[in-house]
Structure 1
Amino acid sequence: MKIESYPDTSSSIEHLTRMGWNAHFQARAESLAGDGASPARVVGVSKNSFRLGDGQSEWLASLAGRLKHEADGARPVTGDWVMARDSLISGVLERQNVLSRGASGARGSQNARPRHEQVIAANLDAVFIVCGLDRDYNPRRLERYLTLVYNCGLNPVIVLTKADLHDDPTLFVGEVEELALGVPIHLVSAADDDGLVALAPYLSPGRTVTMVGSSGAGKSTLVNRLFGRAVQLTGAISNHVGKGKHTTTSRDLIVMPQGGMLIDNPGIREIAFWEVDSGVESVFPEIEKLALGCRFADCSHINEPGCRVLEAVASGELAEGRLENYRKMKREMEYLAQRQHKSAERVEKERWKDVALQVKALKKRR
């Protein structure tokens, strides 16, 4: 499809608004609207091409030459708004937010430190953390997903699928409520549509939601049920290990009948962090509160005397597994903060090195 010009009709703006267009993107698009470029949203990404949509149609596009050399985190991802002319993307509009994780770049190494940022999706209103109530259920992994979402400044919503496998799935809701204070939690069962009705408001017109979870958690099945028919492939779960296959291999933005948009993602095997924010504190508020009663302000809650947190574990007030996960994620955040500090120092050092070389060259010319 050929895009003739920047849309200035009420009809075009109306279609874009349904896709999530707002004043934030409008203001940033005006400076990039030259040469007949028009706004569109990235609704799918393959290796070397992008699928764009404007609320009326979809088409394939590629990056302009200068954009091909951008860092991975700056390249368009599903959910981005771009400026395009014909089938060429000429600019990426500033994002309102991103959901990203650390990618190690060293396959097969479970202890590999994250080497670069992998942006999962952009410009989101909420994140569905999907967890199946079968062998996929893992409270410690839920805590990591929550931390990932909070670190990115996004709103988590926990969706517990396969509730029909249990006589009383509300027992799981009670456990999850204890580790996800204030986070909406919804049960979805194959036996009825009650859970789907509860999720519909998150997908109101103009809103964008992405999903994260393990392979086999039921993400694609959830998309199909919310849509009302099969739009995503689903795979069988191994009875032996309780794990699913990667039936979703790309990140696609699907315009839902409810009016909003849902981004399905491949299952995440490793939840590595990239952003350093208050995610850990948001997920473990009771530990942060207990820590205020420790004798030492810098207490690590490992073996210090007068540690209020360890006292809570000993008395059964706090689960030991929850404390262990808290410590682990705290260490990861400290590592990321140190690495980012060192990176900033290196950039500054290189900048002054360039300045010194320029001064030296100037003196020689004199």
Structure 2
Amino acid sequence: MENRHPGQVTPARVVGVRKNSFYTSNGQKEWLATVAGKLQQANRRYPVVGDWVLVTDTVIHEVLARKNALTRGASGGRGKLEVMPMRQQVIAANLDTVFIVCGLDRDYNLRRIERYLTLVYNCDLAPAIILTKADLHQDPRTFAQEVEAIAFGVPVHLVSARDATGLAQLESYLAPGRTITMIGSSGAGKSTLLNRLYGKSIQATKATSEKVGKGTHTTTSRDLIVMPKGGMIIDNPGIREIAFWDADKGVESAFPEIERLAYGCRFSDCSHAHEPGCRVLQAVANGEIAQERLDSYHKMNRELNYLAERQHKSADRVEKERWKEVALKVKALKKKR
């Protein structure tokens, strides 16, 4: 731990997460640290990759305020309303861009890309879509055009780690001091992409199964990699379930054409399901919007509305319990008098 003195409070960044410890860096040296007991209490900010922290010797005492964070509902619900996630999982913090990585093999799925976009927008972050394995197709541009049609204004990049196609387009994201995190399914090519951008193999990779078209979790930890040109990339394990936690304006941003058409509906509270004079349903009938896209819009709205309602009820319950505790303390004081 060079340039550090015993007992000295040192600002550092979390660059790696293991089971019960964290790799931290002051820009010159990395060292392993644990968290102080107070950070393990409820409602305390707990370190994640990308966080800035205050460290004394090998103990993290405080997590500094985050510029932003990529969060999701902890896995396990698989999108069913009755088993929606009960807690938040913070994936990474203090980000400039989120790379949504999708392979042009069996991983390619427009509806999944819509969910990723909604997740990123809910966190008020900037997405970029990276379509890997472009070398598998003679005309991969058709895939990019399909994605551009559902990802309005989002940069879409076709890349091939095999022959370096499109890698130069990504250099602007890797300017010194900028931090990117990559999300996508296992086998989408995140680690392979990272290796090519770095210039050598620094993350283990495995081939995608030809039989089922799925990758394995080659990346099992979250690490912040400082790239040769100064930018930083956080590689994440593959995501099986894209569960929401934040219920902000993600759907509005991910489906802007539906939100725009909704202003033309006859009824201000139109659900775009069966009402007469619905401009959105008319657009579906005219072929302006695919029925599958509208179905995806409805599904995510239901999830987010349910999530927002449940979180509101939970907040109310917490507040009631807090005032109940206060009332009991007041009653106890009166008895003492």
TM-score bracket for the superposition, by shorter chain length: over 0.9
Identity %: 67
Is 1:232 paired with 2:203?
A: yes
Aligned to 1:289: 260
**Does the 8 A contact of 1:105 with 1:116 survive in 2?**
no
Alpha-carbon distance in structure 2 between the residues aligned to 1:255 and 1:185: 24
> How many residues align structurally?
337
Q: Deviations over 1:254-309 (max 9, x none)?
A: 00012111000000000000001111000101001111111111111111122111
Is 1:275 paired with 2:243?
A: no
What's the Cα RMSD here?
Answer: 1.9
Aligned to 2:152: 181
Aligned to 1:27: none
User: Could you tell me how far 1:107 is from its partner in structure 2?
Assistant: 8.9
Aligned to 1:204: 175
Q: How does 1:122-271 map to 2 (within 5 A)?
A: 122-190=93-161, 192-271=163-242
Aligned to 1:55: 27
SS of the aligned residue for 1:168 comes to: coil
Alpha-carbon distance in structure 1 between the residues aligned to 2:290 and 2:201: 41
Alpha-carbon distance in structure 2 between the residues aligned to 1:240 and 1:165: 17
SS of the aligned residue for 2:48 comes to: coil
User: Could you tell me how far 1:69 is from its partner in structure 2?
Assistant: 2.7
**Does the 8 A contact of 1:83 with 1:89 survive in 2?**
yes
For the structure 1 residues 247 and 136, does the alpha-carbon distance in structure 2 shift closer, same or farther, using more than 3 Å as the test? same
Alpha-carbon distance in structure 2 between the residues aligned to 1:97 and 1:205: 19
Amino acid across the alignment from 2:206: G
For the structure 1 residues 108 and 353, does the alpha-carbon distance in structure 2 shift closer, same or farther, using more than 3 Å as the test? closer
SS of the aligned residue for 2:62 comes to: strand
Match of 1:46 among 3, 18, 27: 18
Alpha-carbon distance in structure 2 between the residues aligned to 1:150 and 1:99: 10
User: Could you tell me how far 1:75 is from its partner in structure 2?
Assistant: 1.2
Q: Deviations over 1:82-141 (max 9, x none)?
A: 110111111111111100100155699896311100110011010000000111000000
Match of 2:53 among 82, 101, 106: 82
Q: How does 1:341-356 map to 2 (within 5 A)?
A: 341-356=312-327
Aligned to 1:301: 272
For the structure 1 residues 84 and 287, does the alpha-carbon distance in structure 2 shift closer, same or farther, using more than 3 Å as the test? same
Aligned to 1:32: none
Amino acid across the alignment from 2:121: Y
User: Could you tell me how far 1:353 is from its partner in structure 2?
Assistant: 0.9
How high is the TM-score relative to the length of structure 2?
A: 0.96
**Does the 8 A contact of 2:99 with 2:128 survive in 1?**
yes
For the structure 1 residues 275 and 189, does the alpha-carbon distance in structure 2 shift closer, same or farther, using more than 3 Å as the test? same
User: Could you tell me how far 1:4 is from its partner in structure 2?
Assistant: 2.9
Q: Deviations over 1:10-53 (max 9, x none)?
A: xxxxxxxxxxxxxxxxxxxxxxxxx6211111011111111111
How high is the TM-score relative to the length of structure 1?
A: 0.88
Q: Deviations over 1:222-248 (max 9, x none)?
A: 000000000000011111111111000
Amino acid across the alignment from 1:224: N
Amino acid across the alignment from 2:302: R
SS of the aligned residue for 1:234 comes to: coil
Alpha-carbon distance in structure 1 between the residues aligned to 2:296 and 2:82: 16
Amino acid across the alignment from 2:4: E
Alpha-carbon distance in structure 2 between the residues aligned to 1:108 and 1:297: 28
Aligned to 2:38: 66
For the structure 1 residues 201 and 117, does the alpha-carbon distance in structure 2 shift closer, same or farther, using more than 3 Å as the test? same
Is 1:332 paired with 2:332?
A: no
Aligned to 1:11: none
User: Could you tell me how far 1:58 is from its partner in structure 2?
Assistant: 0.7
Deviates more, 1:162-171 or 1:106-115: 106-115
**Does the 8 A contact of 2:77 with 2:243 survive in 1?**
no
User: Could you tell me how far 1:194 is from its partner in structure 2?
Assistant: 4.2
User: Could you tell me how far 1:5 is from its partner in structure 2?
Assistant: 5.4
Match of 1:100 among 71, 74, 97: 71
- Structure 2: give runs of 5+ residues left out of the alignment: none
Amino acid across the alignment from 2:199: G
Alpha-carbon distance in structure 2 between the residues aligned to 1:285 and 1:75: 34
Aligned to 2:4: 4
User: Could you tell me how far 1:201 is from its partner in structure 2?
Assistant: 1.0
Higher helix share: 1
Amino acid across the alignment from 1:240: K
